[in-house]
Amino acid sequence: MSPTTDAQNPADRPAQARIGLLKCGTIRTDLIPRHGDYPELFGALLGHHPLSITTYDAEHGELPRSPGECDGWLVSGSANSVYDDEAWIDATGRFLSEIVAAGVPLVAVCFGHQLLAQALGGEVRRSERGWGVGVHRYDVTADLTGWPGGDPPAHLDLLAMHQDQVTRLPEGATVLASSEHCPVAAYSLGERVLAVQAHPEFTPELTRELIEGRIERIGSQRAEAALAELDRPIHGDVVADWFAAVLTN
């Protein structure tokens, strides 16, 4: 199927790689005018890199014809769980398997991180530890696949917003980052596949409004603690460089 939208690259900078964004959900609609939706968020995150982003509305059945339709692929978050009985989730999972089999670069975030694991034989469940929200610190536990140069940090501080987690990795996957709350915070499959549970594309301002709108679901104590930490520095820029390096590998 044809993509819904073509996003954003500054007109004075020629694109060197066409990246397909499989959009698996929508940011809360009342927040989009202020913060943008996933295409705008990923466009801003990767805006300093020679990439153009083409969006496919996977949530509404819009998938590419083949993995070779783009030079690399991004998979967004979603309000759904990957184990929900939805035809589009199954279809998107099958397409992710095709991307991996074809050896095309792939970066999967939050829901995407979970869907990729499930599609390849791993397991995803609702976390017994409750919501992961706010700024979380993830210890780097292995060489970071595709790290763009220099020594990677000992930890990554990133914005999180999730209830589900990967509880069993697919065969051949390597855990790259971990925390007590989220043991599988990032993993890789070879040199061209990277999955991250956190949301590097989120901003503290967007995260604040998301938390404030979910206080009853998250729990007031956890939500207030997360809100209090949103001014902590995060590694969004270095993770953007990492994503770009993997996507253009």
Furthest C-alpha separation in the chain: 49
What pLDDT sits at residue 154?
A: 94
Question: Taking the model in full, what pTM does it have?
Answer: 0.91
Domains of the chain: 5-247 (3.40.50.880)
CA distances from 105 to 100, 133, 155 (A): 8, 28, 24
- Of 45, 23, 27, the residue nearest 36 (C-alpha): 27
- Neighbouring C-beta atoms of residue 11, cutoff 10 Å: 6
Q: What is the pLDDT of residues 223-234, one digit of tens each?
A: 999 999 999 999
**Is a pLDDT exceeding 80 seen at residue 27?**
yes
Mean pLDDT of the 151-155 span: 91
Choice among 15-19, 46-50, 140-144, 190-194 with the minimum mean pLDDT:
15-19
**Is a pLDDT exceeding 50 seen at residue 1?**
no
What pLDDT sits at residue 73?
A: 98
- Of 147, 160, 70, the residue nearest 111 (C-alpha): 160
**Is a pLDDT exceeding 70 seen at residue 61?**
yes
113's CB contacts (< 8 A; 6+ apart) are: 75, 166, 186, 187, 195, 196, 197
Choice among 15-19, 123-127, 151-155, 204-208 with the minimum mean pLDDT:
15-19
| 201 catalytic residue (yes or no) | yes
DSSP per-residue letters across 1-47: ---SEEE---TTS--SEEEEEE------GGGHHHH--HHHHHHHHTT
Buried b (16+ CB within 10 A) or exposed e, 15-32: eebebbbbbbbbbeeebe
Mean pLDDT across the chain = 93
What pLDDT sits at residue 8?
A: 46
Question: In which band, very low, low, confident or very high, does the pLDDT at 146 lie, cut at 50, 70 and 90?
Answer: confident
**Is a pLDDT exceeding 60 seen at residue 95?**
yes
Mean pLDDT of the 184-188 span: 97
What pLDDT sits at residue 204?
A: 97
| 182 catalytic residue (yes or no) | no
What pLDDT sits at residue 245?
A: 95
Question: In which band, very low, low, confident or very high, does the pLDDT at 150 lie, cut at 50, 70 and 90?
Answer: confident
Distance from C-alpha of 246 to C-alpha of 145, rounded to nearest angstrom: 8
- What residue ranges in the chain does DSSP mark as E strands? 5-7, 17-22, 51-56, 72-75, 106-109, 123-126, 132-140, 155-162, 164-168, 174-178, 186-188, 193-196
Do 55 and 106 touch, CB atoms closer than 8 A? no
Q: Active-site residue among 24, 70, 110, 182?
A: 110
| 229 catalytic residue (yes or no) | no
Mean pLDDT of the 165-174 span: 96
Mean pLDDT of the 80-109 span: 98
Q: Active-site residue among 49, 181, 199, 235?
A: 199
Distance from C-alpha of 170 to C-alpha of 119, rounded to nearest angstrom: 8
**Is a pLDDT exceeding 70 seen at residue 2?**
no
At 174, the amino acid letter reads T
**Is a pLDDT exceeding 90 seen at residue 3?**
no
What pLDDT sits at residue 50?
A: 94
Mean pLDDT of the 175-195 span: 96
> Do β-strands 51-56 and 72-75 pair in parallel, antiparallel, or remain unpaired?
unpaired
Q: Active-site residue among 59, 70, 181, 201?
A: 201
At 192, the amino acid letter reads R
**Is a pLDDT exceeding 90 seen at residue 119?**
yes
